[in-house]
Structure 1
Amino acid sequence: MPSNVEVKAVVSNPEDFAGVAAQLSQSEGAIIRQHDTFFHCSQGRLKLRDFMDGTGQLIFYERPDSDGPKLSRYSISPTSDPSSLRMVLSDALGVKGEVRKERRLFLVGQTRIHLDSVEGLGHYMELEVVMRPEQTVEEGQQVAHGLMEQLGVSEESLVTGAYMDLILKGVKET
């Protein structure tokens, strides 16, 4: 199963963060609109990501709920009909909740830097260090820590869990 090391944090100044991420990636980043529907499942998390253009991905992942860099294992299946798949999964499993966001994606080496504007929550960043088969979790964590430092992400701004967890807890916009 593919894996990555992930970090999530609150971003207090999205313009400054985007500027540093753009410098690191030498790009302005790609804008991606996403509507994620989370379904009840017995282990891990199952979500359908709708890209709002007729395409989507069914994603299953397992990741500890802790702050700082952590290993996430995932499986992804593309779909060309996310709305009918959402109906089937909703009937079969029930909907846990939904997350709508606009994501600005920057690529730096093996890392995907996301600047997310999440409806009802505010601005966050995610780092996804895509692990190579020969890499250890510790090596992925070192990459994440190095980028956190370059991006000015403090330990105090780190967040545990998924956006869905924050919404279910009633966390308000930052």
Structure 2
Amino acid sequence: MPSNVEIKARVSDPVLFARRAAELSQSEGTVIRQRDMFFICSRGRLKLRDFMDGTGQLIFYERPDTDGPKLSRYSISPTSDPPSLQAVLSDALGVKGEVRKERRLFLIGQTRVHLDTVEGLGHYMELEVNTHTHTQITELRFTEELMERLGVSEQDLVTGAYMDLILNAPKDPQNTTVTL
């Protein structure tokens, strides 16, 4: 099963983060709208990512729910009919929830840097370093250095997936939702 090292953190200043990521990647990044439907499963996480253009990916992944760098093992299968696949998986497994986000993707070397605006949560970043090109020790060092260069502090780190954050968020009727 392929794997990568991931880090997820809150971003308090998305404009500054985007500027730093653009400088390091020497690009303005690529904007991708995504809708992730999470399904109930006995281990790991199973989600259907709909790119809202008629394409998508079914993604199964396992990773520890800890902050800081963590190893994620995953399997991905592309689909050209996300709505139909969603209907079948919803009937078979049940739906855990949905995450909608606008992702700005930057590539810094072999690292995917995501600046995400997550509906209902706000701004986050993710770093993903492919383990095919580095050793795990090298990846951990590189991601920690990259976090520092992007201005991400340890207190900003979060555990779990966006779906977990949404499900565990306090329900506040005064809370404003980030719209995409």
TM-score by length of 2: 0.93
Asked if 1:116 corresponds to 2:116, the answer is: yes
Residue aligned with 1:64, SS: coil
Counterpart-to-counterpart distance in 2, 1:92 and 1:139: 41
Q: Contact 1:31/1:104 (CA < 8 Å) preserved in 2?
A: yes
Counterpart-to-counterpart distance in 2, 1:128 and 1:152: 16
Residue aligned with 2:27, SS: coil
Letter in 2 for 1:69: P
| Residues 144-171 of structure 1 deviation map (CA, whole Å, 9 limit, x = unaligned) | 1010011010000000000000000015
Residue aligned with 2:87, SS: helix
Question: 1:55 corresponds to which residue?
Answer: 55
Letter in 1 for 2:156: S
Counterpart-to-counterpart distance in 2, 1:170 and 1:22: 31
What are the within-5 Å matches in structure 2 for residues 139-154 of structure 1? 139-154=138-153
Question: 2:107 corresponds to which residue?
Answer: 107
Residue aligned with 1:67, SS: coil
What are the within-5 Å matches in structure 2 for residues 150-165 of structure 1? 150-165=149-164
| Residues 99-119 of structure 1 deviation map (CA, whole Å, 9 limit, x = unaligned) | 000000000111000000000
Give the root-mean-square deviation of aligned CA atoms: 1.3
Letter in 1 for 2:42: S
Letter in 1 for 2:5: V
Asked if 1:98 corresponds to 2:98, the answer is: yes
Q: Contact 1:110/1:131 (CA < 8 Å) preserved in 2?
A: no
- 1:143 deviates by 1.3
Letter in 1 for 2:35: H
Residue aligned with 2:166, SS: helix
Counterpart-to-counterpart distance in 1, 2:41 and 2:85: 16
Number of residues of Structure 1 aligned to a counterpart in Structure 2: 173
| Residues 51-78 of structure 1 deviation map (CA, whole Å, 9 limit, x = unaligned) | 0000000000000000000000000000
Counterpart-to-counterpart distance in 1, 2:164 and 2:143: 22
Q: Which segments of 5 or more consecutive residues in structure 1 lack a partner in the other structure?
A: none
Q: Post-superposition, which runs of at least 4 consecutive aligned residues in structure 1 deviate over 6 A?
A: none
Counterpart-to-counterpart distance in 1, 2:39 and 2:139: 29
| Residues 21-53 of structure 1 deviation map (CA, whole Å, 9 limit, x = unaligned) | 000000000000000000001110000000000
Question: 2:82 corresponds to which residue?
Answer: 82
Q: Which segments of 5 or more consecutive residues in structure 2 lack a partner in the other structure?
A: none
TM-score by length of 1: 0.96
Residue aligned with 1:7, SS: strand
